[in-house]
Amino acid sequence: MPGRFYVTTPIYYVNDAPHIGHAYTTVAADALARWHRLLGEDVFFLTGTDEHGLKVARAAEANGLTPQQQADRTSARYKETWSLLDISYDDFIRTTEARHYASTQALMQAAYDNGWIELGTYEGWYCVACEAYYAPDDLLEGRLCPIHERPVEWLKEDNYFFKLSAFSDRLLEWYRSHPDAVTPESKRNEAVGLIRQGLNDISISRTSISWGVPVPWDRDHVFYVWYDALINYATAIGYGTDPARFDAWWPAVHHLIGKDILRFHCVYWPALLMAAGLQPPCRIAVHGFLLVGGDKMSKTKLNQIAPADLVPTFGSDGFRYHFLRDQQFGPDGDFSYEGMVARYNADLANNLGNLLARVATVVDRKCGGRGPRPDAGSHLAAVAADAYRTAAAAWERIAPHEALEATWRLVRETNAALEAAEPWRAPPGPEVDRVLGDALEALRIVALLASPAIPRASAEIWRRIGVEGSPGDARLPGGADWGGYRGGPVHKGQPLFPRLPSEG
Ligand SMILES: [Zn+2]
């Protein structure tokens, strides 16, 4: 039976438009999904939008829309962006869908029935216009709303509280017995540190807002946006609606998240699952911020970059390759346009693009346009085998930059072999056939191994060198074995990755 691989992105909040920070996580999840499909695993890739909460209601009001209209509009923009970037999600969840209400209510009801949710009172400084509480430190002059600059009032309301404090020991025990559940280790340590500091019970419902999932046992309340949002991961595989499907996929889930939502995913979410009698997720991979010129992207700084600004120049593949190859998954990364151009020109235009163009040209001139078969004893066979082994291990630990670095070693070695043999100077014959057959086989394997990152170009490489089918339909590890290239018609074409001027 093939393994199962369930991978998720965070669901993105619809008060905001898609930018390269969202794209970074989503492209990484997509590449992982594609890699695991190549391994023949049963893959389920989930993304979507988080549509409840006051911020959405407020953004809607500012735009003269209802919250649902605001959610529909922004959700559609995410879908367009993912289509532009060739994101192969299996499901796009929206938290305003009926299925999500059903799952959220079922999971919270289970936690309530198990005795982990109780009514309490919440009190604090409240702005009526914001419909929100403020900590004393956030107030202007100690008494004014920081947004409306008008006096706040002391309000007390009934909230349902999740008894998070009761889960400290169980969470620490889970972290002890699952040392690799949260990666990288620095983020795992951060989560353990938060638990050790002591956990307070958390308010999970509101009576003052209505844009949310109703609390099933008390219709005066809706769940606070974060708690319904987390449950999307369970909704999409049928929690509360299709138990057999849920049991087949849970807890084999890999959550990809940014470090700003670590507390919710690495502390609250495992505890909430335990409260409902479920296993915590098998993996939470945390990445850093994608900085722009050293700064965090934000609406107020106006330094957000939309994928649609970059794709016309770099193509979907060039965009994807940059974020997978240059941004290490884990630490903070820094985006620069110049860096993106440099990487595109070096790896895609020069190394890979030139290799394909060169091989196609020489096959056309010396082999009558038919690609010769590779030599079983080629020294490139060992390089290819090593590229596969290294790349496979790197994808497994969510290190796409290392996987691609290993794959490009084969590109460089193949270029070097061509330069050493100079088949363009030699007369047609077995020696030229041998060199070109090896280069074609290396190209076939590179396209296959790189297809999770550059799916369009990979398919085009196969088409041009006369390999039948699409790399996305191939299976590893067998597909990467040396000798798979059977020869075939080789087509010249336009540059796969036209070189970009280095002055942006
Ligand atoms: Zn206010």
What does the pLDDT read at residue 1? Answer: 54
Query: Which DSSP string corresponds to 461-482?
Result: HHHHHT--S-GGG--TTGGGST
Q: Compute, in angstroms, the gap from residue 303 CA to the centroid of ligand 1.
A: 26
Q: Is the pLDDT of residue 201 over 80?
A: yes
Instruction: Please give the pLDDT value at position 504.
Output: 47
The per-type count for the chain, helices as H runs and strands as E runs, is 18, 18
pLDDT by residue (tens digit) across 314-359?
999 999 999 999 999 999 999 999 999 999 999 999 999 999 999 9
In this structure, how many other beta carbons lie within 10 angstroms of the beta carbon of residue 92?
17
Q: Is 19 a catalytic residue?
A: yes
Give 351-376 pLDDT, tens digit per residue. Answer: 999 999 999 999 999 999 999 999 99
Q: Return the H-helix or E-strand segment holding 50.
A: strand 42-50
146: CA distance to ligand 1 center in Å?
7
According to DSSP, the β-strands at 132-134 and 153-162 are unpaired
Sign of CA dihedral 142, 145, 146, 150: negative
What is the per-residue pLDDT for 503?
Answer: 63
Q: Active site includes 221? A: no
CB 301 within 8 A of CB 273: no
pLDDT at 56 exceeding the cut of 80: yes
List the one residue out of 444, 445, 482, 438 whose CA is nearest residue 462: 444
What average pLDDT does range 288-309 have in this prediction?
Answer: 84
For residue 205, the CA-to-ligand 1 centroid distance in Å is 20
Mean pLDDT, the chain, whole residue set: 95
Cβ density class 59-73: b for 16+ within 10 Å, e for less: bbeeeeeebeebbbe
Three-state DSSP class for 397?
Answer: coil
What pLDDT, in 10s, does the model give residues 431-455? Answer: 999 999 999 999 999 999 999 999 9
Distance 137 CA to ligand 1 centre (A): 15
Please say if the pLDDT value at position 205 is more than 60. yes
What average pLDDT does the segment 267-278 reach? 98
- Ligand 1 centre to CA of 203 (Å) is 20
Flag whether pLDDT at 467 surpasses 80.
yes
State how beta strands 205-206 and 222-223 pair. antiparallel
- The yes-or-no verdict on residue 143 having pLDDT over 50 is yes
Q: Are 411 and 446 in contact (CB under 8 A)?
A: yes
- Check pLDDT > 90 for residue 135: no
Q: What are phi and psi of 151, to 5 degrees?
A: -60, 140
Burial class (CB in 10 A: 0-12, 13-18, 19+), 115: exposed
Residue in 52, 79, 100, 145 annotated catalytic: 145
Query: What is the model's pLDDT at position 131?
Result: 72
Average pLDDT over residues 372-398: 97
Pick the catalytic residue from 79, 100, 127, 187.
127
Name the band, by pLDDT with cuts 50, 70 and 90, for residue 133. Answer: confident
Average pLDDT for residues 49-78, to the nearest whole number? 92
- The alpha carbon of 362 and the centre of ligand 1 are apart by a number of angstroms equal to 70
Vertex 80: Cα angle to 286 and 32 (nearest 5): 35
- 296, 301, 379, 492: which is the annotated catalytic residue? 296
pTM for this prediction: 0.94
Kindly report the backbone phi and psi dihedral angles of residue 48, in degrees, each rounded to the nearest multiple of 5, phi listed first: 165, -165
Q: How far apart, in whole angstroms, are the C-alpha atoms of residue 185 and residue 15?
A: 32
Compute the distance between CA of residue 88 and CA of residue 99 in angstroms, rounded to an integer.
22
282 noted as active-site residue: no
| Segment 145-188, tens digit of pLDDT | 988 889 999 989 899 999 999 999 999 999 999 999 999 999 99
Spatial CB neighbours of 333, under 8 Å, sequence gap ≥ 6 = 24, 288, 289, 290, 291, 326, 327
Position 247 pLDDT exceeds 70: yes
Average pLDDT over residues 246-273: 96
